[in-house]
Amino acid sequence: MSDPIAEPIAAVPYVIIDRDGDHHLVGSRCAKCGATLLGRRVACAACGANDSVTQVRLSDKGRIRTCTVVHRSYPGVPVPFIAAVIDIDGGGVVRGTLRGPIPSDPVAEVGRPVRICVEDTGQRDALGRAFYSQVFRPLEAAA
């Protein structure tokens, strides 16, 4: 990806886009209380410590905390889709889209293991660069 116009852009600040294709989520971990939070932080939101927070790479696995089927969205966003909240293995929580078939009972999806993937959103900026963000895939279908 030597062409800067072809380089993808992270749609959110906690998505890291690596040149070698090793895209992932980043978080912060507090050495004082052990909390792990999504995104880079200068202080711990759990205990308030401002001298013990370090940046960490977050796991690419998690479990569905909750989800719902979205039937109405912004113009240009295809519906229906599944909006989900994921508890990341090792700490942290992230929201995004669960890929795959629309479930007849979204409540039955709670607790299901997922892989957290960073993928092209299909959106482009004025220079044609792709925006990348997190999506979730059922673990058995993520390979």
Q: Which pLDDT tens digit goes with each residue over 69-80?
A: 999 999 888 999
Tens-place pLDDT, residues 81-105: 999 999 999 999 999 999 999 999 9
Q: Please, what is the Cα angle at 122 between 28 and 101, to 5 degrees? A: 85
* 13 φψ region: left (φ > 0), alpha (ψ -120 to 50), beta (else): alpha
Judged against a pLDDT cut of 70, whether residue 3 lies above it is answered with: no
pLDDT at residue 1, rounded to an integer:
46
Compute and round to an integer the Cα radius of gyration of the chain. Answer: 16
Neighbours of 44 (CB within 10 A): 22
| Terminal-to-terminal C-alpha distance of the chain | 24
pLDDT at residue 53 is higher than 60: yes
In the chain, where are the structural domains located? 9-141
The pTM score is: 0.87
Percent helix, strand, coil in the chain, to 5, is 5, 45, 50
